[in-house]
Amino acid sequence: MIIAQQKPIKDIAAMIEDCKKVLLVGCAGCVTVCLSGGEKETEVLASSLRIMRRLQGNPLETVTITATRQCDPEYIEPLENLVKDVDAIISLACGVGVQYLAERFHDKWVVPAQNTMFVGGSRTHGVWEERCGLCGDCILHRTGGICPIIRCSKSILNGPCGGSQYGKCEISKDVDCAWQLIYDRMKALGKLDKLMEIQPPKDWSKSRDGGPRKAIREDVMIG
C-alpha cells in the first residue's frame, strides 16, 4: 500500500486560512489502512481545524466524506454536489487522490493534508516499512525476495558495499544491510550460484528515468 503521514495541522490550517467552508475528503484505500487519511482521521482533522479556527475567532464550516478510492474517477464523481458551495477541498489521500480531485474540480482550491511517503507494508500495529522502489523491472526472483533497489540505501545491484558492518548499513544501526539479507537468504536457499550470474545493466528507463509512466491494458478497456 501507499504510506502517507499527515502534515502538521498548522501547515494544513495555513493552506485554507482564507476559506470559510471546506470539504475534507478521506480515502478508504491505502491511507485508511495506514491510519492517516480514512474516515476517522478525516473527522479528527475536521474537528481540529474547527477548534483552531474558533479559537482564532474565525469559525470554519466543514463537510466530511470518505471516498471508496480517490484514485478512481468513478468514486470522486459523486462528490460534485458537496464541492459546489465550499471554498476549498482538503484531500487526505495520497498525492494521486489530490491530483485526481484537482483535475475533476479544476475551479476549486485543492490542498493536500498528507505527505505521501512510500510504498510499503505494516510491520506491526503503528509501524510501516518501505518495501518497493517502483522500478518497473522487478528483480526479486534474483535477490531472494529482498529488494536491493529500496532496501539498500544506495540501491546498488552488486552489494554489499564497504559500508556494511555486522549486517547493518552504515547509515544507521537500525537499518539492515539489504545485501547481507540477500546473501544470507540465498545461502539458506542453496541458490548462491544465482548471485554469480552476470546480469546486463538494469533498464532504468522503466523506472522514473523514462519520465511519467502509464500502464495500458487494451483487453480491459470499455468501448
Partner 1 sequence: MRLQYSSNIRIIEMPCSGTIDHRVLLQAFEDGADGVFVAGCMEGDCHFQKGNYRAKKRVNAVKKLLDEIGLGGDRLEMYNLSAAMGPRFAEIANEMTERIRQLGPSPLRKDKAGTSRKEGDVA
Site stretch for partner 1 (CB under 8 A), options 41-49, 105-113, 161-169, 213-221: 41-49
Which sign does the torsion angle of CA 103, 108, 113, 115 carry?
positive
Please give the Cα distance from 45 to 79 (Å, whole number).
Answer: 19
What distance in Å separates the CA atoms of residue 200 and residue 86, rounded to the nearest whole number? 54
Neighbours of 136 (CB within 10 A): 15
**Sign, Cα dihedral of 80, 83, 89, 90:** negative
Selected binder of partner 1 within 20, 40, 191, 213 (CB under 8 A): 40
The reply to whether 20 sits near partner 1 by the rule CB under 8 A is no
Cell (9 digits) for 5:
503521514
Show contacts with partner 1 in window 56-85 (CB under 8 A): 57, 59
Toward partner 1, which CB reaches closer, 55 or 222? 55
11 binds partner 1 (CB under 8 A): no
* Region near partner 1 per CB under 8 A, out of 6-14, 95-103, 110-118, 214-222: 6-14
* Cβ-based nearer residue to partner 1, 50 or 154: 50
Separation of alpha carbons 212 and 126, rounded Å? 31
Q: How far is the CB of 195 from partner 1 (least distance, A)?
A: 44
Q: For residues 203 and 210, what is the distance between their CA atoms, to the nearest angstrom?
A: 10
The type of residue at 141 is: H
Of positions 1, 7, 9, 185, contacts partner 1 by CB under 8 A: 9
Residue ranges binding partner 1 (CB under 8 A): 8-10, 40, 43-44, 47-48, 50-52, 54-55, 57, 59
